Structure formats: C-alpha cells, structure tokens
Amino acid sequence: MRDIITLGCTECKQRNYTTTKNKKNTPQKLEFKKYCRFCRTHTVHKETK
C-alpha cells in the first residue's frame, strides 16, 4: 500500500529526496522542510510526480 514518492525543492525545482507514503491515510501532497544541496540552505520540499 505504501508508494515511493519524490520530493522536489520549491526554490530550484531539483528533485533531491525519495520517501514512501501511504496514499490511503495521506491523500494530500507531502511537504517537508529539508536541506537542498543546490541552494545550500533549508527549503520547503514538496511531493512531485
């Protein structure tokens, strides 16, 4: 039931992280504040396709 998703930086649009989520429990898109090595700062990362 858990699907692999990719997290992309909202500033530079780079896809930096992968994680899993249960689509039944969390149908909305995930959003985390994580480190982006391209921006060299902590930015918001959203779920991408």
Q: Give the pLDDT confidence of 3-44 residue by residue, as tens digits.
A: 999 999 999 999 999 999 999 999 999 999 999 999 999 999
What is the structure's pLDDT at 4? 96
pLDDT at 1 over 90: no
Please, which contacts does 39-46 make with residues 24 or more away whose CB atoms are closer than 8 Å?
39/9, 39/11, 39/12, 43/9, 43/10, 43/11, 43/12, 44/9, 44/10, 45/7, 45/8, 45/9, 45/10, 45/16, 45/17, 46/7, 46/8, 46/10
Q: Where are the domains of the chain?
A: 3-48
What is the structure's pLDDT at 47? 96
pLDDT at 49 over 90: no
Q: What is the CATH number of domain 3-48?
A: 2.20.28.120
